[in-house]
Structure formats: C-alpha cells, structure tokens
Amino acid sequence: MRLLIITKTVDVNDQLLGFSVNWFRHLAGKFDFVTILCLEKGEFNLPDNVRVISLGKDRRYSKIRQLFTFYLLLFTLRKQYDAVFSFMNAIWIVFGAWLWRLLNKKAYLWYAHKTITWKHRLAEKLADGIFTSTSEGFRIKSKKVMVVGQGIDTELFKTNHQSPITNHQLRILSVGRIALVKNYEVLIRAAKILHDEGINFHITMIGEPVFKKDIEHEQNLRKMVLETGLGGRISFIGKIVNEKLPQYYQSSHIFVNLGKTGSLDKTIVEAMACGLNVISSNDAAVNFLPKDLVVSGSDPKELAEKIKEISGKDFGVELRDYVIKNHSLVNLVEKISFHIKSF
C-alpha cells in the first residue's frame, strides 16, 4: 500500500516539527511507498521508498501558486498513492477532501492541540479518521477520533544509567519554545527562592521564540534572570534539534514543564522516557502523573517546595514504563498504519 503524507516542513532542524522526520521514517517501514508533500524542505535522511516534494514556500512561491501546485500534484500523482495522511494541518483535509472523494482515496488527519477552529470542525466532517495523542488533543467529540499516544522513540529517548550528578549540584531542565503560555517566569521566581535558601542547583532552558510576539518575552525573561542575581544559575541555550535532546534529559535530575497549552507537551513524555523526574502542570499530564509530581503552575513557592521534595526521590522506572506502554512511536505507527490499511 502507498501513502501520501502532507505536512508543513520536512526538516530535522525545525524546533517544533523536527521530530516528525523520525515518524515518517517509521511509517515508511509500514508502506510500500511514501510520498510527502510539504510547504518547505530542509535537512532529512529518509529511506529509499520515500519521496519528498516541496509545494514551494521554501522557493517563495505565492500561496496561490502553492495551492495550485498542491492540486496539480494530487491529481498527477493519483496512481502513486492509495491513502492520505495530513500531519497537524486540518486545512489540507478541507482543501483536498472533495478530490480524494472523486479519486476514491481515504484521508486521515493527525492533530494534537487544544485549539479548535472552523478548519478542524470542517475537517472532522470530511476526514475518514482522526488520530491524536490524548483525549485532550482533539477537542471535538467524534467517533472518528482515535487516541494513539504521543509517539516517542523510546530507543532514542532512553535512560542513561550513569548518574548525572556533577559536584552534588541539582540539575533542572526545561525544554520548549519560549512563550508566555509556558510560564517560565514562575520557574525563575522559584529558582530565586532556591538560591536564597542556599541550594546548589543549575537550570538549563532549551528553546527559542517561534513567533515574533515571543521575542520580547524572551528578552524580559533574560532580564529577569539578571535582575534576580541568577545569571550563574540559569542558562538559555536556544534551540537543540530533537535527536540531540536525549543527552540533556539524561544529564539532568528534574524536568519542569509549567505550560498551559491544553494538550500534552511532547517534551514531558520525552523526559519521562529518559527516566527523568517530571514536575508539571500540563492539563493532559496531570491525568497520569503521580500526584507527587503535579503543581499548579502559577505558584513559585509551591514549585520550589516540590523541587526540594522530589530531589531525593526517583520516579524514573515508573515514568518510562508508562511511556513505553502508552506513548511509544512503535505502537503509534502500528496503530496508525493498521487503521489506514484497514479501509
């Protein structure tokens, strides 16, 4: 069976979607041939049975020209794919459903985010199936929705049995794009409390702003760190490609995620897969994390106390086992490919 994938970008260096290249690699093992249409191509290494075609955003094509190219390829390649998988972008289901109906092609959507717009409501009507990470990942009640997990490569994100302790310093990690919704200022205020109590720690913050509105927020966070005297305690190291993140998880003691994104943040599950203690206020994560690891996300004092409380505990085995059972990439690809092939 041959699969057509439609996505925004195919690039391992993309901060938000770089992980998807590994998804496509695993999906290629389940299908005879995979064609990927993307708005822009970057760096990637995919099997020989995968072809990647850009719709032209990376060549500065206009949106009208990109859409024309999209329809042209859907039709000219019609004999080279049997089903369609749109990754995160409901709009492609909206644009393409009428043609796929005429061509007798089933179309599926992957979406995992709290935001629901007219595009998602219409895509729910038009798609043959919708895959998501958790029940919070697609907030429209529908018989078409299938919860398949977050899709973490547990062979890449795994436990390092060597101790990450360096000079008895507590190493705290946070990973994700810099944005107001991530509540990094709460982590900084909690760090100030730990610092004033004489606790030896260091916080590494991985990520960078994706949207223009968040650039000023990052500047404010950096200023806040300096003004609170935490310049030697907190490091901003910018974007790290997905495949290089495991070493950061493995060399840390505690992972902190205070985001209120509404859906399960992938970095939480990556950290868990690496056997790292996780503290989170994430709406989806609080449903399965041990209560000892849950915080409100808005109280620096509560967070500081929680960090001290679990610094001598180890939830690693329990957390990794949960990921392997519920969120592994192997299981996700098996479920998605099974449903697509079953039509």
Does the pLDDT value for residue 215 go beyond 90? yes
The amino acid at 340 = I
d(CA 318, CA 275): 8
Mean pLDDT in residue range 84-96 = 97
Dig out the tokens for 286 from the structure.
């609080």
pLDDT score recorded for residue 212: 86
Largest Cα–Cα distance in the chain? 68
pLDDT score recorded for residue 146: 97
Residue 15 pLDDT class (50, 70, 90 cuts): confident
pLDDT in tens, 224-256: 999 999 999 999 999 999 999 999 999 999 999
Does the pLDDT value for residue 167 go beyond 80? no
pLDDT score recorded for residue 163: 52
Residue 162 pLDDT class (50, 70, 90 cuts): low
pLDDT score recorded for residue 295: 96
Mean pLDDT in residue range 80-101 = 97
Does the pLDDT value for residue 165 go beyond 80? no
Ordered structural domains, the chain, with CATH: 2-151+328-341 (3.40.50.2000), 170-325 (3.40.50.2000)
